[in-house]
Amino acid sequence: MTHFQRFFATVPLGMELLLAEELRALGAAEVAQTHAGVAFGGDLEMAYKVCLWSRLANRVLLPLERFPAATPEALYDGIRRIEWDAHLDPQASFAVDFASSRSKIRHTMFGAQKVKDGIADYFRERCGIRPSVRPDRPDLRVNVYLDRDVATVSVDLSGESLHKRAYRQEGGKAPLKENLAAAILLRAGWPEIAERGGHFVDPMCGSGTLPIEAALMAGDFAPGLLRPHFGLFGWKNHDRVLWRNLVEDAKGRSDRGLRKLPPIVGYDIDRRAVRIASENIERAGLTGYVHVERKAMADVRPRHGFGLIAVNPPYGERLGDEKTLVPLYTDLGAALKTHFVGWKAAVLTGNPELAFKLGIRARRYYTLYNGALECRLFNFDIEAERFFSPREPEPLTAAQRKIREIVRKAKTVDMADSGAEMFANRLRKNLKNLGRWARQNGIRCYRLYDADLPEYAVAVDVYQGEGTWVHMQEYEAPSSVDPAKAETRWVHAVAVVPKVLQIPPEQVFLKIRRKQKGLAQYEKQADAGRFHVIEESGLKFWVNFEDYLDTGLFLDHRITRRMIRDRAAGKRFLNLFAYTGTASVYAAEGGAASTTTVDMSRTYLDWAKRNLELNGIRGSRHELIQADCLEWVDLALREKRRFDLIFLDPPTFSTSKRMRRTWDVQRDHAMLIKKSAELLAPGGTLVFSTNCRKFKLDTEALGNLELEDIGPRTIPKDFERNPRIHHCWIVTC
């Protein structure tokens, strides 16, 4: 198999461009980057080189077939048509990785099972025996990606993810993935700095990933040389001679490269981290080339006139908290200013506000992802004129102070207390019933509790994606309730939730909800800047549990979003007052011909753009417009724009300074619905929704429109206790 073929390399978000450049440097042809991956062409030697030399890719896939698979039967039949005996012996083992996006088959375990059945039945029919399934290190790993009901079936030549270099047996408290470390170094210009003889320092090296990757990169050391296994080893078409020759060449290059390696040093205050880093360095074969020692950051000094200082300090996602982290960042900034002028610096953080505490203006920053967490990589030229005095932290609001006090008190709660036990029992009951319902229906984000017990007036929402998080909101108690008793119950609830759900307390986020007017529910509550990826109906969305009263995903509109998706095929879709664009994602996933997303906030339009891109949706067909929606509708009417499907979900009130007029949904809805309906093409549909609890539709003013009340049908099971959570109508001309 030396002829030209197409391959696909997967890569973490934010690293696609870097991988494309790396593949071109390796000699790949027809390189084309896409969402979370890069397609490329070449012969088998090219694919082997990528497996051996890529510092960034996760997997290298050899596509075999691509076919429609809208049903389990179509998926099974398509798999059986592939000539598997050309790739795998019947006595061998295999495993299946299955992923689905914007497709009818959403359950990954079910999809993987259908693929396994198809492969097994293929062999059973032709050979009388079938290969065994072996999840851990099989002879052949099969990758199936289902997108828009079209399956792409590939052989995984890499086996387990290529970021696993085999030198790290034990990580630190929050280990950095090896390919993310490589991306940091490439973005920081380390290869050029090393070529000029510059030194490398990591003052908080943890398990040593950055210093080790710096040495592999500067020493022309192929990262795959350390791995004992690749997926291609068990593939029937594996060319052992070709692979052996590539490995021998790589060994020769590393021997020559390590001899010219510049000084590379890592420091850490944690004795255990230094021990782990030393062991990892030894496994990487870099003892004597990379030095690590225990030293406080304030005591770190450069050994040379120029170089790169690269660091991945904690940023509050899993380690530490802001109280301890702010001094850490200010001390790092002081060390740079005092000892490292003339150097370059690269700092990766999931909290951009903390990066500000360094007190130095960045030359450039990049967005990278540490797992699902969005991070910023700040690159600095350490020059005296670039430093400034960071401002003092903003004082905590009354709500933030109260939440901190609630969390402190929750740590002292006796779970045998009658009040805490009563709430815990109700939560367990709900978790058993609603949890089973959610699992049976593939629902990963839902309301678990909503003031079921009058004494405990809180809402508890569960969000699941790559992790599990809980968003808790305390409703304002009526004046008749003793404030001290209300606070005690809130404390009980905060103490109980992580224990019943068996999650760490730091994965529970608290809000105090008061009656809001205007766009108050959209206003910033904090500046943590931490986002998480959750899953809903086979789609993924970014949510933020800390910075805003709402998270970016209204759970009560789950059914409404699905209805939009089901109606969207071939339609021109308009999303007014779009917030974070979740309805636009559903419409695009449902096959909309185009989507137009309109909101006044640039912050939320950027959020909507990220939601679209997270689901592989991009391009000129998906328009994002920052505008006052009321003014934009008038403009669209003048331009004679037309849409086939419109989602209209305005706020209850708005007194925003950017709007030329105030907005009251009860007073103004008829005017807006009529104008928006004029944008409908013949046969078009408008979905109007509001969460105004006392809302009454002005049917008289809307007499020339057909109105269908679908509110009761759009209230999900987990919100049935509160049927006034929203109202919803279908409007047609």
Show the 3-state SS of 396-440: CCHHHHHHHHHHHHHCCCCCCCHHHHHHHHHHHHHHHHHHHHHHH
**Residue 281's Cα: distance from chain center in Å?**
31
CA gap 100, 611 in Å, rounded: 17
SS3 of 303-345: the string is CCCCEEEEECCCCCCCCCCHHHHHHHHHHHHHHHHHHCCCCEE
User: CB under 8 Å to 433, separation ≥6 — which residues?
Assistant: none
Contact 495, 415 (CB under 8 A): yes
Protein fold of 398-514:
Transcription Regulator spoIIAA (3.30.750)
Q: What is the CB neighbour count within 10 angstroms for residue 133?
A: 15
Helix (H) or strand (E) holding 653: strand 653-654
Phi, psi of 250 (to 5 degrees): -65, -40
Helix (H) or strand (E) holding 279: helix 271-283
Closest alpha carbon to 442 in 589, 551, 558, 586: 558
Closest alpha carbon to 162 in 15, 55, 302, 261: 55
Helix axes 44-53, 240-258, angle to 10 degrees: 40
Phi, psi of 508 (to 5 degrees): -110, 130
Q: What is the dihedral of CA 17, 19, 23, 29, to 10 degrees?
A: -50
CA gap 586, 592 in Å, rounded: 9
Contact 106, 100 (CB under 8 A): yes
CA gap 306, 723 in Å, rounded: 65
CA gap 221, 54 in Å, rounded: 11
SS3 of 127-165: the string is HCCCCEECCCCCCEEEEEEEECCEEEEEEECCCCCCCCC
Query: Cα–Cα distances in Å, from 425 out to 2, 135, 419, 421, 499?
Result: 65, 39, 10, 6, 12
The CATH number that domain 541-732 falls under is: 3.40.50.150
Contact 650, 669 (CB under 8 A): yes
Strand-pair partners of 39: 8, 32
User: Which regions of the chain carry the CATH code 3.30.2130.30?
Assistant: 5-156
Q: What is residue 528's predicted lDDT score, i.e. its pLDDT?
A: 58
CA gap 583, 596 in Å, rounded: 11
User: Which regions of the chain carry the CATH code 3.40.50.150?
Assistant: 178-221+259-386, 541-732
Name the percent of the chain in helix, strand, coil, to the closest 5. Answer: 35, 25, 40
DSSP secondary structure letter of residue 200: E
**Residue 138's Cα: distance from chain center in Å?**
29
Closest alpha carbon to 586 in 626, 553, 619, 545: 553
CA gap 728, 708 in Å, rounded: 9
Tokens of 352: 């951009």
Query: Taking the model in full, what pTM does it have?
Result: 0.59
Helix ranges (DSSP H) in 502-557:
none
CA gap 274, 291 in Å, rounded: 10
Helix (H) or strand (E) holding 252: helix 240-258
Query: Cα–Cα distances in Å, from 314 out to 58, 445, 569?
Result: 24, 28, 45
Pick the CATH number of 5-156 from 2.40.30.40, 2.40.50.140, 3.30.2130.30, 2.60.120.260: 3.30.2130.30
Phi, psi of 368 (to 5 degrees): -130, 165
User: Which regions of the chain carry the CATH code 3.30.750.80?
Assistant: 398-514
Say which amino acid occupies 174: A
Residues of the chain with pLDDT under 50: 1, 317-320, 515-523, 657-659
CA gap 650, 578 in Å, rounded: 8
User: CB under 8 Å to 25, separation ≥6 — which residues?
Assistant: none
Tokens of 695: 């809302």
CA gap 461, 483 in Å, rounded: 24
**Cα dihedral 21, 27, 28, 29 sign:** positive
For 237-261, the pLDDT digits (tens) are: 999 999 999 999 999 999 999 999 9
Q: What is residue 505's predicted lDDT score, i.e. its pLDDT?
A: 86
**Residue 238's Cα: distance from chain center in Å?**
35
Q: What is residue 560's predicted lDDT score, i.e. its pLDDT?
A: 97
User: CB under 8 Å to 164, separation ≥6 — which residues?
Assistant: 178, 227
Q: What is the CB neighbour count within 10 angstroms for residue 650?
A: 23
CA gap 109, 120 in Å, rounded: 16
Closest alpha carbon to 185 in 304, 307, 335: 307
CA gap 279, 268 in Å, rounded: 14
Q: Tell how strand 680-690 and strand 727-732 pair up.
A: antiparallel
Say which amino acid occupies 67: F
Helix axes 209-218, 178-187, angle to 10 degrees: 60
**3-state SS assignment for residue 524:** strand
The CATH number that domain 178-221+259-386 falls under is: 3.40.50.150
CA gap 729, 472 in Å, rounded: 29
For 89-146, the pLDDT digits (tens) are: 999 999 999 999 889 998 889 999 999 999 999 999 999 999 999 988 999 999 999 9
DSSP secondary structure letter of residue 476: P
Contact 447, 551 (CB under 8 A): no
Task: Determine if residue 14 is left, alpha or beta; phi over 0 gives left, psi from -120 to 50 gives alpha, anything else beta.
Answer: left
CA gap 82, 61 in Å, rounded: 16
Contact 499, 413 (CB under 8 A): no
Q: Which residue has the tokens 């953080």?
A: 349
